[in-house]
Chain A
Amino acid sequence: MSSIPTRFDVVVVGAGPAGSAAAYLLAKKGFSVLLVERGKGLGDKNMFGGKVYAQPIREVWPELDKEAPIHRWVTKERISMVDGEKVLTVEYRTEKKVSFVTYLTQLTQWMIKKAEGAGALLASEVTVEEILMRDNRVVGIRSGPDVIEADAVIDAEGVNRLLLERLGLVKKLDPDTVGLGVKEVLKVGEGNIESRFGLDKKEGLAWAIVGDITKGIPGGGFIYTNKDTVSMGLVLHLSKKLLDEGSFEGHVSSLIEGFRLHPYFKPYWKDAIISEYGGHLTITDAIKFAPSRFAYPGLLIAGDAAGLLLSLGYTFRGVDYAVYSGKLAADAVEYARNNGGVNYENLQVYDDYIRKSFMYEEIMRHRGAITLMNSFELMSKYPKLLTKVMEKMFEAEYKHEVIYNSLLQALKEEGISPFNLISQAFMMVKGI
Chain B
Amino acid sequence: MSQSKGEEKPIKLEDILQSDVWDVDEDPHIIVDSEKCLECPTKPCIYLCPAGCYVKAGDRVIFSYEGCVECGTCRVICPMDAVKWNYPKSGKGILYRFA
Contacts and interface: CB of A to CB of B under 8 A. Distances in A.
Interface in A368-421: none
Contacts of A272: 5-7
20 contacts: A38-B87, A40-B90, A41-B91, A44-B96, A45-B94, A105-B99, A127-B86, A144-B89, A160-B75, A162-B85, A173-B72, A181-B71, A184-B16, A251-B13, A260-B6, A269-B7, A274-B19, A276-B19, A277-B50, A278-B69
A32 to B, nearest CB: 24
Interface stretch (A58-66, A242-250, A334-342, A351-359): A242-250
A238 B76 contact: yes
Interface centre among B43, B70, B71 (most CB of A within 10 A): B71
Chain A to chain B: the 6 pairs with minimum beta-carbon distance, closest first: A40-B91, A246-B42, A125-B91, A279-B50, A248-B47, A279-B71
Interface residues on B, range: 35 or more
Contacts of B6: 184, 186-187, 260, 269, 271-274
A270 B86 CA distance: 39
Interface string B57-89: 000000000000111110111010000011111
Given A45-B93, A270-B7, 11 more contacts: A38-B87, A44-B97, A105-B98, A105-B99, A125-B90, A125-B91, A272-B7, A273-B4, A274-B19, A276-B98, A281-B72
A144 B89 CA distance: 9
Interface string B1-36: 111111111110100110110010000000000000
Contacts of A178: 76
A278 B96 contact: yes
B48 A252 contact: yes
Interface string A155-198: 00001101000000000011100101111111100000000000
B75 A253 contact: no
B7 A229 contact: no
B97 A45 contact: no
Nearest to A181: B71
A244 B76 CA distance: 13
B48 A248 contact: yes
Contacts, number: 172
Given A162-B87, A246-B42, A277-B19, A261 B7 contact: yes
Nearest to B3: A273
B50 A182 contact: yes
Scoring A43, A160, A229, A238 by chain B CB atoms within 10 A of each residue's CB, the highest score goes to A160
A343 interface: no
Contacts of B88: 38, 127
A103 B96 CA distance: 10
B24 to A, nearest CB: 13
A103 B7 contact: no
Nearest to A125: B91
Contacts of A162: 85-87
B95 interface: yes
Interface in A228-257: 229, 231, 236, 238, 243-244, 246, 248, 250-253, 257
A1 B97 CA distance: 26
Interface string A114-150: 0000000000110100000000000000001000000
